[in-house]
Amino acid sequence: MDDEPLALKRLERLLQATPWIKVIGSATDPAAALQFLASEQVDVLLLDIQMPGMNGFELLARLSIQPMVIFTTAYDQYALKAFEVNSIDYLLKPVDPQQLDRALLKLARLRNTTQAMELRAQLQSLATQLAAQ
């Protein structure tokens, strides 16, 4: 989500270079992004902060399910607040390909850790059920 079409296109090109990333949507309008996110489950949201009508923090606050977030912005003064809302990373525009790769590797590590924790919980639940029989 970025209100600058050129920044959005550049980011999409950079993401296409990562084979395990699938872009399922993009928007330049925060209201359209909200509507899309209400009906689609996403693993990560790459989100600008300064947008007309609604900033990135306001958009996140309106979501019922909070995806992981990588902020992409031209402003460094929001970095602390970005990490308060549990973002994965904070990338300054123009987004550097190496910085994006670093953020995506963080995402991959977090997803693997989360999946392992969920699997462990499922196995523990199954073991408890079997022991009760």
Query: What CATH number is given to the structural domain containing 12?
Result: 3.40.50.2300
Around Cβ 117, how many Cβ atoms within 10 Å? 10
Q: Quote the number of domains for the chain.
A: 1
Query: Which residues form the domain of 45?
Result: 5-132
For 62, other C-beta atoms within 10 Å of its C-beta total 14
The answer to whether 26 and 37 have CB atoms below 8 angstroms apart is no
Dump the DSSP string for 28-84: SSHHHHHHHHHH---SEEEE-S--SSS-HHHHHHT-SS--EEEEEES-GGGHHHHHH
Mean pLDDT per 10-residue section of the chain, whose length is 133 residues = 88 90 92 93 93 93 92 88 88 94 92 70 78 80
